[in-house]
């Protein structure tokens, strides 16, 4: 199936190929073709960051992809054939690889890269291969790809403003059943809302959401079914995984139980956050944000847009244990999310019927930027101002962002120490936030993830010399935990020990493999020698017994060079490309 791939010298690989096809015969064939043909493989920084997300979510359905990544790297890295392009931004990555000669882009139909490509509408003049379960589409360029594989429009189900007629209702004590007739008893009522009620069941850590009458629509039920088919089982996602029926009628679904308290009640100013987690420092705030960003990126990998991102739609148990909740309204493929919160939604979408169109990743990027600011500032909205307009809506429309890059004008920043939080942020985060909320620019979700990881590394490695930088509220008299910057962070020290142990293990494996290779070579050569020629046999050994191969039989070094494109690897464009590094380290 992949014989024609050998006509190219290099492959520009999208991570979706690894995630969707890792562990399948198709990916095994792809790996063999690349290795036997000596092709170079180029990947973006997004490739690496998305793999972090996959590993940290630890969903059992991704185990094959994770294993394939290790094998893939093991086969390409020793020969310097895997190259990391240090850009997470899709346009910047495409600009960096556009001049790689005789190369092809490999992606999947619904991968993040493919969807970004359609949104940016960028054609860099390269052939694109799209891998699907049914086969491979081979396009000469992006224009042909768009004509053949247009992005799906909103589902016709969104136009059906009818409700499923359910002549039944459920309550405590009733037994509901899944499609496979598995019974669940509704034991206790946990909570209720406008859409339905959530019940504890007779099965540990599994709860049931039962809808009220006149809530279930064809769109909602089709979406619930699609979510169950995707099968996300990672911790921290209160997603449906089994549909429920009562007396044969659809009534709701089973989902994992979330743990913790609403994020919005913790990230609600100094008193709330310091009361809930008095031992926290700024690193814990950053860990909370990373936990959230990873989960939203993980949804994006599955062609899901959260749609209604806001603090009340998450629970927090600890800085590394958060749960996304109220996920039955999310957008799945072309099944739209009909709801949204204005304060977290791109103003360009205000006034539109959310059920009438498919939201883009770009639309979600704005909500993610809102989330980044709000968490870093412990619940404060980016357009919350002092002595400003009468309503928050006016501030948002006019982009009255009260912070500046020089941290000099604090006139409109709310009281409470928020100007100090801004001052101690990393320069990169400040620029991205300013660009977004003052200049109206946009950054991809993975870029926010990358910038927050970088900020965390600065904190962990004690790169800020002022101890105030490590407090939740710097330079404020609140009763809050402090950090001794003269002592290495426990997480850094633990990671260092893990890396040392891993390095020793890898060195031991290499020595073992080399010894085995030499042993097999000795046995082969001895076995091929005439038994009546002991003199010839002796020439292969020194006095100490070590095997010395003939010079003309020594292994030739592998061809190819790291990051080389064209004849001059020293060009600025090619300096941006480097060997893969640190893939399996912690974020």
- Hunting for tokens 């991968």 — which residue is that? 111
For residue 209, count CB atoms less than 10 angstroms from its CB and return exposed for 0-12, middle for 13-18, buried for 19 or more: buried
Tokens coding 415: 């009281």
Rounded CA-CA distance 121/481 in Å is 48
CB 353 within 8 A of CB 266: no
DSSP-assigned letter for residue 383? T
From the list 90, 73, 89, the residue with the least C-alpha distance to 35 is 73
Percent of the chain with pLDDT over 90: 76
Q: Which residue has the higher pLDDT, 62 or 545?
A: 62
- Hunting for tokens 């809808």 — which residue is that? 211
Rounded mean pLDDT, 376-381 = 97
CB 456 within 8 A of CB 587: yes
Q: Tell me what pLDDT residue 332 has.
A: 97
Q: Tell me what pLDDT residue 556 has.
A: 42
The yes-or-no verdict on residue 584 having pLDDT over 50 is no
The yes-or-no verdict on residue 582 having pLDDT over 50 is no
Span 70-79, pLDDT tens digits: 999 999 999 9
Rounded CA-CA distance 339/215 in Å is 14
Q: Tell me what pLDDT residue 534 has.
A: 47
The yes-or-no verdict on residue 148 having pLDDT over 60 is yes
The yes-or-no verdict on residue 546 having pLDDT over 50 is no
From the list 52, 73, 72, 87, the residue with the least C-alpha distance to 586 is 52
End-to-end CA, the chain: 37
Structural domains in the chain, sorted by start: 3-148 (3.40.50.1010), 175-256 (3.30.200.20), 262-483 (1.10.510.10)
CA 314 to centroid of chain Cα atoms: 17
DSSP strands (E only) in 224-347: 242-246, 249-256, 261-262, 304-305, 314-318, 321-324, 331-332
The yes-or-no verdict on residue 312 having pLDDT over 80 is yes
Rounded CA-CA distance 69/55 in Å is 11
Average pLDDT score, the chain: 88
Span 237-274, pLDDT tens digits: 999 999 999 999 999 999 999 999 999 999 999 999 99
Q: Tell me what pLDDT residue 353 has.
A: 94
Q: Tell me what pLDDT residue 575 has.
A: 40
Q: Which are the contacts of 489, defined by CB distance < 8 A and separation ≥ 6? A: 283, 459, 460, 461, 462
Q: Which residue has the higher pLDDT, 552 or 431?
A: 431
CB 73 within 8 A of CB 583: yes
Q: Tell me what pLDDT residue 529 has.
A: 55
The yes-or-no verdict on residue 165 having pLDDT over 90 is no
Tokens coding 102: 């005789």
Q: Tell me what pLDDT residue 569 has.
A: 37
Rounded CA-CA distance 350/341 in Å is 10
Q: Tell me what pLDDT residue 452 has.
A: 98
The yes-or-no verdict on residue 208 having pLDDT over 70 is yes
Q: Tell me what pLDDT residue 495 has.
A: 66
Q: Tell me what pLDDT residue 537 has.
A: 42
Rounded CA-CA distance 317/215 in Å is 30
Span 509-533, pLDDT tens digits: 778 877 887 887 777 777 665 545 5
Dmax over CA atoms of the chain, in Å, equals 102
Rounded CA-CA distance 548/346 in Å is 69
Rounded CA-CA distance 399/443 in Å is 17
CA 567 to centroid of chain Cα atoms: 35
CA angle 513, 515, 516 (to 5 degrees): 65
Q: Which residue has the higher pLDDT, 1 or 401?
A: 401
């Amino acid at each position: 199936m992949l014989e024609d791939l050998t006509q190219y010298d290099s492959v520009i690989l999208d991570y979706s190929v690894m995630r969707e096809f890792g562990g399948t015969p198709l990916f095994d064939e792809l790996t063999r073709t690349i290795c036997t043909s000596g092709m170079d493989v180029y990947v973006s920084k997004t490739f690496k960051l998305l793999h972090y997300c996959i590993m940290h979510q630890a969903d059992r359905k991704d185990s094959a992809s994770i294993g394939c990544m290790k094998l893939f790297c093991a086969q390409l890295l020793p020969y310097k054939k895997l190259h990391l392009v240090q850009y997470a931004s899709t346009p910047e990555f495409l600009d960096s690889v556009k001049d790689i000669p005789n190369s092809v882009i490999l992606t999947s139909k619904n991968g993040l890269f493919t969807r970004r490509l359609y949104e940016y509408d960028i054609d860099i003049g390269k052939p694109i291969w799209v891998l699907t379960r049914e086969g491979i589409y081979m396009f000469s360029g992006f224009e042909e790809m768009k004509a053949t594989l247009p992005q799906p429009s909103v589902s016709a189900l969104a136009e059906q403003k009818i409700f499923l007629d359910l002549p039944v209702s459920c309550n405590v004590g009733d037994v509901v059943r899944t499609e496979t007739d598995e019974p669940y008893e509704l034991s206790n009522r946990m909570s209720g809302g406008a859409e339905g009620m959530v019940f504890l069941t007779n099965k540990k850590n599994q709860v049931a959401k039962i809808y009220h009458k006149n809530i279930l629509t064809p769109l909602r039920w089709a979406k619930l079914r699609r979510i169950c088919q995707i099968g996300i089982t990672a911790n921290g996602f209160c997603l449906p995984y089994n549909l429920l029926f009562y007396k044969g009628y659809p009534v709701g679904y089973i989902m994992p139980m979330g743990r913790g308290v609403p994020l919005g009640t913790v990230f609600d100013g100094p008193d709330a956050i310091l009361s809930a987690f008095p031992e926290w420092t700024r690193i814990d705030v950053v860990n909370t944000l990373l936990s959230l960003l990873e989960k939203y990126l993980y949804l994006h990998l599955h062609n899901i847009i959260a749609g209604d991102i806001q603090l009340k739609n998450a629970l927090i148990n600890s800085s590394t244990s958060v749960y996304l909740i109220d996920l039955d309204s999310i957008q799945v493929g072309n099944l739209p999310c009909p709801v949204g919160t204005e304060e977290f939604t791109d103003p360009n979408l205000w006034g539109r019927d959310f059920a009438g169109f498919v939201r883009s990743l770009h639309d979600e990027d704005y909500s993610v930027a809102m989330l980044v600011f709000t968490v870093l500032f412990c619940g404060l909205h980016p357009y919350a101002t002092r002595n400003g307009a009468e309503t928050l809506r006016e501030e948002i429309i006019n982009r009255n962002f009260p912070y500046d890059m020089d941290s000099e004008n604090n006139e409109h920043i709310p009281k409470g120490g928020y100007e100090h939080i801004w001052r101690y942020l990393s320069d990169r985060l400040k620029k991205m936030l300013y660009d977004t909320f003052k200049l109206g620019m946009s950054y991809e979700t993975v870029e926010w993830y990358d910038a927050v990881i970088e900020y965390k590394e600065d904190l962990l490695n004690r790169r800020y010399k002022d101890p105030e930088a490590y407090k939740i509220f710097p330079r404020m008299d609140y009763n809050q935990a402090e950090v001794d910057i003269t002592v290495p962070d426990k997480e850094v020290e633990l990671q260092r020990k893990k890396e040392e142990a891993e390095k020793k293990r890898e060195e031991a494996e290499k020595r073992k493999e080399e010894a085995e290779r030499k042993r097999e070579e000795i046995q082969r050569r001895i076995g091929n020698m005439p038994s009546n020629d002991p003199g010839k046999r002796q020439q292969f050994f020194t006095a100490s017994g070590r095997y010395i191969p003939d010079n003309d039989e020594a292994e030739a070094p592998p061809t190819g060079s790291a990051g080389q494109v064209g004849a001059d690897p020293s060009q600025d464009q090619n300096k941006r490309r480097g060997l893969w590094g640190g893939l399996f380290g912690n974020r």
